[in-house]
Amino acid sequence: MGLEAVVGDIKEKGRKEAAEIQAQTAAEVTSILEEAQEKVAAIKQAAEDDVQREVTRIVNQEVSAANLAVKRETLNAEKDTLARVHASTLARITDQPADFHAQALRYLLPLAAADIGGGTVYCNARDVSIVKEILAENADLSGFSLGNPVEIEGGVVVESADGRMKVDYSYRTFMETVWESGLKDASDILFP
């Protein structure tokens, strides 16, 4: 074999090795690029997932805040309505005819006498004359005297002679008792 044949063999072998190295390099480059693309896709997906979670969290937070604001406004409106109903009811009771108030006082004063043996009866200015009349005509109420008028819608407040005990039979007190016990029922009726 001649020198040229050996050189040709070496060149051929070099070309084959170069081709193999280039093929391996191309395969490695392709593999590295595929891995990089997979990592990029995974990073991109993770970022998209994070963004979607954050968007969902923010939307949920805003919806919750809006629902809370609506509920607060609704409750405030309901509270305002109930306060107006309360005031209106008390005003309507106060505006009843004189015979209504007289009948109420004829009922309330003996109750007070049962609770307190004697003392001072306080009522509003409108009811002074009827309270005087009731005290004068009822012997069971002889231990009571009429005090100065007080700012109440109706009914009486009675204080014991020694000042240690007070019984509040004013319309407002009765109304508050009924109101507290019936508030949930009233709310359910007004705001189904």
Would you state the pLDDT for residue 102? 94
List, for the chain, all residue ranges whose pLDDT scores fall below the cut of 50: none
Task: Give the pLDDT of residue 7.
Answer: 72
- Give me the pLDDT at residue 122, please: 96
pTM: 0.62
Q: What does the alpha-carbon distance between residue 108 and residue 158 come to, in Å, rounded to a whole number?
A: 10
pLDDT in tens, 78-89: 888 888 888 898
- Distance between CA 49 and CA 41 in Å, rounded? 12
Provide the pLDDT for residue 182: 76
Is 81:190 a contact under the CB 8 Å cutoff? yes
Mean pLDDT of the chain: 88
Q: CA 33 from chain center: how many Å?
A: 58
Question: pLDDT digits over 73-123, tens only?
Answer: 988 888 888 888 888 988 998 999 999 999 999 999 999 888 898 899 999
pLDDT attached to residue 8: 77
Spatial CA neighbour of 144 closest among 167, 118, 106: 118
pLDDT > 70: percent of the chain: 98
Looking at residue 1, its pLDDT comes to: 56
- Residue identified by tokens 């919750």 is 64
Half-sphere exposure (Cβ direction) of 147: Cα atoms closer than 13 Å: 16
Residue ranges of domains in the chain: 1-95, 98-190
Is the domain defined by 98-190 classed in CATH 3.30.360.10? no
